[in-house]
Amino acid sequence: MTPAKRDRTRAKLIRAAFNVYAREGFDAPTIDNFIAEAQVSRGTFYNYFQTREDLMAAVAADLATFITKRIASAGTVSDPLERIAIAVRYFVTLAAQNEIRGWVLARMIPIVGGPLTNAMSEHVRATMEAAVAAKRIQLRSISAGIDLGLGMIAMAIRHNLSRRAAPYPAELVSAMALQALGASIKVAEEVSNRPLPPLSVDESKPMAEGGDATEARRSDTARQKVGRRRVRGEPGKRRRNSSAIAR
């Protein structure tokens, strides 16, 4: 089987899982439900995933990668504390734009026990270390700080999706997270209410929501080539509306 075909089959299973979750929730579906939705054999399923949890983790990682790419503009901000605030605000907002997306992320962040992809893990740790080095936050443990921040995001997403009470604005979640990491209330509030940079112009969808795995891979390759050319040429350098959450 070619790599492109493997990508398409894996993406098909991820989309099938997302559709099943949307229809039946998260606890009831069995592996048979995912197999039937994707119209693949049991053997094909087990070529990619061993358990239901493995499949859900793949869906969550796919959605997290999508969100990370959409907020890549935060990397242009010089203040590492502001980069953390931007990531928290956009993560909460983008999770709310699709209810199933939000519930997958809220459920998987605690289960995975940290960032949902290696790339995200490296980025979060580097940003935290930069914020500590710049004396913008004070942490006895970077790892504990990451877990604390992600736990707050997961619980905020869960609260906002439950609709049992008024949603937490993304700015409030950000300010509370920065305070928990050691920033003063004044600094946390000020940084969390700065104007947001625009989202990335990449409008591709995550695989779980109908995006194409091979197209995403080609797009990534194209962006990397453009980035390399710029470095060489420039030596100097359906669901609930999220407006209530993003305000």
Whether 82 has a pLDDT exceeding 50, the answer reads yes
Whether 13 has a pLDDT exceeding 60, the answer reads yes
pLDDT of residue 63: 87
pLDDT of residue 236: 36
Task: Encode pLDDT of 56-75 as tens digits.
Answer: 889 988 888 888 888 887 88
Asked which of 32-36, 109-113, 243-247 is least confident by mean pLDDT, the reply is 243-247
Mean pLDDT of 149-172: 91
pLDDT band at 211 (very low <50, low <70, confident <90, very high): confident
**Global pTM value:** 0.76
pLDDT of residue 47: 96
pLDDT of residue 112: 63
pLDDT of residue 214: 57
Return the HEC string of 151-218. Answer: HHHHHHHHHHHHCCCCCCCHHHHHHHHHHHCCCCHHHHHHHHCCCCCCCCCCCCCCHHHCCCHHHHHH
Whether 230 has a pLDDT exceeding 50, the answer reads no
Q: What percent of the chain has pLDDT over 90?
A: 48
Which of 132, 134, 153 lies closest to 85 in space, CA to CA? 153
pLDDT of residue 72: 85
pLDDT band at 246 (very low <50, low <70, confident <90, very high): very low
DSSP output for 58-111:
HHHHHHHHHHHHHTGGGGG-S-HHHHHHHHHHHHHHHHHTSHHHHHHHHHHHHH
What whole-number distance in Å separates Cα of residue 128 and Cα of residue 81?
8
Task: Encode pLDDT of 129-149 as tens digits.
Answer: 999 999 999 899 999 998 888
Task: Encode pLDDT of 179-197 as tens digits.
Answer: 999 999 999 999 999 999 9
Alpha carbon 142 to its chain's center? 19
